[in-house]
Chains A and B, each alone.
Chain A
Amino acid sequence: DNFKARATRHIFLIRHSQYNLDGSLDKDRTLTELGREQAELTGGRLASLGVKFDKIVHSSMTRAIETTDIISKHLPGVNRVSTDLLREGAPIEPDPPVSDWKPEARQYYEDGARIEAAFRNFIHRADAKQEEDSYEIFVCHANVIRYIVCRALQFPPEGWLRMSLNNGSITHLVIRPSGRVALRTLGDSGFMPPDKITRT
């Protein structure tokens, strides 16, 4: 009984907001003005939920860092941690395949192992020593979030590309002490006015 989980983990997966696709280097792919507005709306939404967030973990890519910078302003005192594990990539060859997106095979080996490691590292039931329910935010990327959702629900991971996520949207997973997983929301962006919703 000493090694049984007792607490529930709430995982909030946030897709970064709209960014400038023209830059060739990651550092040049910064948020657009609309992207900054979206991040403000996402931060405001998270703050309005009235829960005490334990931490923000974010991808080390520029668009995730900038989204986190803005969200953080709405959640004062919440620590943030950067990780390379959550960087965008090609998690697994999608089924059915798509014609306009064909990464090299080696990309799936590199990114797939890393994104699977991100899933195992961050998505699990609470440790036995965790006494209270936790609320954690992960600011990352569409492919990473879609793969994590498939894996957490034990759905075939190659189906990840059948889902679509808006910029700044909130995906909420609940992991019970029993290990049961519930997807409470997938890509919620209903808190944004329709003319500010994008999927770039």
Chain B
Amino acid sequence: RPGPTSGVWDSNWDKREPRS
């Protein structure tokens, strides 16, 4: 399941995985 769903904002959300 993609993405965090804990309700806590992940400020590095666009840095954890390659872009494509």
Which residues of chain A have a CB within 8 Å of any CB of chain B? 85, 92, 116-117, 120-121, 123-125, 150-151, 154-158, 178-180
Please name all residues of chain B whose beta carbon is closer than 8 Å to the beta carbon of A150 when the two chains form the complex: 3
Do the beta carbons of A116 and B10 come within 8 Å of each other? no
Please name all residues of chain B whose beta carbon is closer than 8 Å to the beta carbon of A125 when the two chains form the complex: 14
A92 to B2, CA, bound (A): 10
Do the beta carbons of A154 and B9 come within 8 Å of each other? yes
Do the beta carbons of B20 and A117 come within 8 Å of each other? yes
Give the B interface residue count (CB, 8 A): 15
Do the beta carbons of A121 and B3 come within 8 Å of each other? no
Chain B at the A interface: SS class: loop
Please name all residues of chain B whose beta carbon is closer than 8 Å to the beta carbon of A117 when the two chains form the complex: 20
Do the beta carbons of A120 and B20 come within 8 Å of each other? yes
Do the beta carbons of B20 and A154 come within 8 Å of each other? no
Which one of A116, A121, A157, A179 has the greatest number of beta carbons of chain B within 10 Å?
Answer: A179
The 5 closest A-B pairs by CB, nearest first: A124-B14, A121-B20, A156-B5, A120-B19, A179-B11
Q: Which chain B residue has the least Cβ–Cβ distance from A150?
A: B3
Do the beta carbons of A151 and B3 come within 8 Å of each other? yes
Q: Knowing that A154-B3, A156-B3, A157-B3 are A-B contacts, what are 20 other residue pairs whose CB atoms are under 8 Å apart, sorted by A's residue number?
A: A92-B1, A116-B2, A120-B14, A120-B17, A120-B18, A120-B19, A120-B20, A123-B14, A124-B14, A124-B19, A125-B14, A154-B5, A154-B9, A154-B10, A155-B5, A156-B5, A157-B1, A158-B1, A179-B14, A180-B11
- Using known A-B contacts A154-B10, A179-B11, A179-B13, determine if residue A121 contacts B2 with beta carbons closer than 8 Å: no
CB distance from A82 to the nearest CB of B (A): 16
CB distance from B7 to the nearest CB of A (A): 8
A157 to B9, CA, bound (A): 15
Contact of A154 among B1, B4, B19 (CB under 8 A): B4
A108 to B3, CA, bound (A): 16
Please name all residues of chain B whose beta carbon is closer than 8 Å to the beta carbon of A178 when the two chains form the complex: 11
Do the beta carbons of B19 and A121 come within 8 Å of each other? yes
